[in-house]
């Protein structure tokens, strides 16, 4: 039965790729005839390709060095006689990086086609424009989840070893960490610079073609929110499956079958959800996106229930999976409350902006901190419910913890089961954001701008919900990875004939040491990324000032005078490439140092501190940034004085503070905690045998 399910998973993954190709062809057939839009989309595509090529070259070097270290040291040092196993681990790691990179590249290529089509389609109304944007995003959704399911299935089919799947996951996570950080630094460098000089200093529209940073801003949407966020959710999906497979491998039975069955059915449900996405001629885009998510969720519940009945899987495990899915939806709704421009928190922040930027910042931070509570409680409830549901499945008391942790890992699989739809919604956001800018550059008129503004507003809300969902999913995933770490340690300890671990007692000074260091890492990681944005944005602001001073007629919009867009793209690219490695390396090296100082006990505390602190920081920054962004858009729509008012200028300042919060540091932290958890699991044997104390 296991082989049948594995081959079935491969078939579903290939179906997703076929559907993605059909969507791509549909998007490409949509008309794009405006010369200014064609020129702008060409510049955006060229800039995005240049950045991605340079980023992938840097990451290829990093992956090469990491592959050598994995071969020499993991899962056992080569001098202990395991070179063949280590070769499989290296191959899995490199495949993880490759699959993630390819998924990001596919998404970026279609997004830079769909943006112009969505802009031109807005001339016919909101429905065709929405469909072009959504189906363009859905290509990314299908590619990401299809690649993750295909990669994990093939690695497991060839090796039958969950530890090797952890290697595939580490490859995906390491690429995602740097891709998200690099893309986030690029996009927020351009966004902040364009807003500060354009809106605050000169009072020109957001996507005015006179602004030298406007093309770099649109490029950033694609490399940060499409390629970067796609790599992030690819990583989370793979990590949840890897953790579940480690637990399932220890327990035996048909648990491995259950992991692959539920993951494949999640992708199938997402395909159905994307196919049913519709909007009326005067429809609400936010409601249309949410409806597709609810359809996907309902289909998944029905399909998994049927599979549980037919294949005689334990109903308690199914219950844990559905609890994870339900909590993911609830966390999405709470994130929506704190970031949607139709809700009170955004209105309060917009109103506070009338009193100046200090009040914009204070109110945004306060609501951001409040938004953390429901999500943190939701993650805790999901983990607790899954634990209590699945612990009774153990027939041997020694298996109680294993079944409980397997339940938590399946809750993470459940939460990420609809990730195909989530990525589709997320990629829709930057596509319609670009479409709005292209509509302005193409001079398509106020009616078209009004349509693209409504699509963009829905995209901002959905992007905030997606980030909340991704962070929550990472929370459950890393709790499962903590269980995988314990399992790997105990397996290695049994082979070495020494004592393993059953828990991490905070009264143990070594555990407490690790706890404190782990809790500090997300703060340092965030600071390094945001300082990178700060340094890079200052360079770009200086370049924008230079161009407005030196290019005669640019500020006045004289016909035939164009800014040097490539200069700003070059600054954003070079700065992002320079800044993307140090923060990620810091987190990985800190894991090694703690492990070699205090062994597996210190690492257990390190992971616990990193998980709790990381989730708090990630949720706070993601939600605060989304709140400030939509607060600005709420003012620009005519409230609290509208464009050009003091409230608008204050709201723009809030948005520029929130940009690196929500698009650079916040969503990168969940990848950081996944990476260090995987490093801990893969290094468990070395930490068990080589430590100072």
Model confidence band, residue 554 (pLDDT cutoffs 50, 70, 90): confident
User: Is the pLDDT reported for residue 499 higher than 80?
Assistant: no
CA distance 603 to 594: 6
- pLDDT of amino acid 615: 92
Average pLDDT, the chain: 88
Domain count, the chain: 1
* Phi, psi dihedral angles at 563 (to 5 degrees): -75, 165
User: Is the pLDDT reported for residue 81 higher than 70?
Assistant: no
Judge whether 274 and 439 are in contact, CB under 8 Å. Answer: no
Tokens found for residue 91: 């191959």
Please report where in the chains the tokens 């294993």 appear, as a residue: 402
CA distance 242 to 224: 26
What does the pLDDT look like over 398-412, one tens digit per residue?
788 889 989 999 998
pLDDT, mean of residues 289-307:
92
- pLDDT of amino acid 400: 87
- Domain range for 356 is 2-689
Widest CA span in the chain: 81
332: nearest Cα among 425, 227, 440: 425
The region of weakest confidence among 123-127, 497-501, 633-637 is 497-501
Model confidence band, residue 79 (pLDDT cutoffs 50, 70, 90): low
CA distance 635 to 630: 9
Number of C-alpha atoms within 13 angstroms, CB side, residue 272? 17
- pLDDT of amino acid 286: 81
Listed ranges 79-83, 243-247, 308-312, 330-334; the one with the highest mean pLDDT = 308-312
């Amino acid at each position: 039965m296991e082989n049948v399910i594995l081959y079935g998973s491969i078939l579903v993954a290939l179906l997703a790729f076929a559907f993605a190709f059909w969507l791509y062809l549909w998007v490409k057939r949509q008309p794009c005839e405006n010369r200014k839009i064609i020129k702008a989309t060409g510049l955006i595509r060229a800039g995005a390709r240049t950045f991605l090529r340079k980023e992938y070259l840097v990451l290829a070097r990093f992956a090469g060095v990491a592959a050598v270290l994995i071969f020499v040291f993991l899962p056992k040092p080569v001098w202990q006689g395991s070179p063949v196993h280590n070769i499989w681990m290296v191959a899995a790691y490199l495949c993880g990086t490759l699959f993630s990179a390819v998924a990001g590249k596919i998404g970026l290529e279609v997004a830079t086609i769909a943006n112009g089509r969505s802009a031109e389609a807005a001339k016919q109304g909101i429905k065709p424009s929405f469909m072009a944007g959504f189906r363009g995003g859905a290509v990314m959704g299908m590619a990401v989840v299809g690649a993750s399911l295909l990669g994990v299935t093939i690695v497991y089919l060839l090796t039958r070893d969950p530890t090797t799947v952890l290697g595939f996951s580490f490859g995906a996570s390491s690429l995602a960490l740097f891709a998200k950080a690099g893309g986030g630094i690029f996009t927020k460098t351009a966004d902040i610079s364009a807003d500060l000089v354009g809106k605050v200093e000169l009072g020109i529209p957001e996507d005015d073609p006179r602004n030298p940073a406007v093309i770099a801003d649109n490029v950033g949407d694609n490399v940060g929110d499409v390629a970067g966020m796609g790599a992030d959710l690819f990583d989370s999906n793979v990590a949840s499956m890897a953790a579940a497979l480690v637990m399932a491998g220890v327990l035996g039975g048909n648990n491995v079958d259950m992991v692959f069955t539920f993951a494949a059915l999640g992708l199938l449900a997402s395909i159905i959800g994307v196919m049913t996405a519709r909007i009326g001629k005067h429809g609400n885009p936010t409601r249309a996106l949410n409806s597709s998510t609810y359809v996907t969720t309902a289909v998944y519940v029905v399909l998994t229930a049927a599979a549980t009945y037919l294949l005689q899987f334990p109903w308690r495990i199914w219950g844990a999976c559905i609890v994870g899915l339900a909590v993911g939806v609830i966390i999405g709704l709470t994130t929506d409350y704190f970031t949607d421009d139709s809700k009170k928190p955004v209105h309060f922040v917009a109103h506070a902006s009338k009193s100046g930027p200090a009040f914009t910042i204070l109110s945004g931070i306060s609501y951001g901190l409040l938004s953390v509570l429901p999500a943190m409680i939701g993650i805790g409830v999901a983990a607790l419910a899954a634990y209590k549901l699945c612990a009774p499945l153990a027939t041997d008391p020694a298996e109680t913890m294993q079944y409980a942790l397997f339940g938590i890992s399946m809750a993470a699989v459940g939460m990420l089961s609809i990730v195909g739809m989530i990525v589709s919604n997320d990629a829709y956001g930057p596509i319609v954001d670009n479409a709005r800018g292209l509509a302005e550059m193409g001079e398509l008129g106020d009616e078209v701008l009004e349509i693209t503004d409504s699509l963009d507003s829905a995209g901002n809300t959905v992007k905030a919900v997606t980030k909340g969902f991704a962070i929550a999913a990472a929370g459950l995933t890393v709790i499962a990875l903590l269980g995988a770490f314990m399992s790997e340690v105990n397996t290695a300890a049994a082979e070495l004939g020494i004592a393993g671990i059953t828990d991490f007692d905070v009264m143990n000074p070594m555990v407490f040491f690790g706890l404190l260091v782990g809790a500090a890492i997300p703060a340092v990681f965030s600071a390094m990324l945001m300082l990178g944005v700060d340094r890079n944005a200052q360079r770009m602001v200086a370049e924008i000032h230079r161009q407005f001073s030196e290019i005669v007629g640019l500020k006045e919009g004289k016909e035939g005078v164009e800014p040097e867009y490539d200069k700003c793209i070059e600054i954003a690219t070079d700065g992002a490439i320079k800044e993307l490695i140090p923060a990620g390396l810091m987190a990985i090296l800190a894991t090694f140092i703690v492990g070699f100082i205090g062994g597996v006990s210190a690492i257990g505390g390190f992971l616990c501190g990193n998980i709790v602190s990381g989730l708090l920081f990630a949720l706070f920054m993601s939600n605060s940034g989304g709140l400030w962004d939509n607060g600005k858009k709420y003012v620009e729509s005519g409230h609290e004085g509208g464009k050009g008012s003091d409230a608008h200028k204050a709201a723009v300042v809030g948005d520029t503070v929130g940009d690196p919060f929500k698009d650079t540091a916040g969503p990168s932290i969940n990848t950081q905690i996944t990476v260090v958890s995987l490093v801990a699991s893969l290094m468990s044997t070395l930490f068990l045998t080589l430590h100072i104390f």
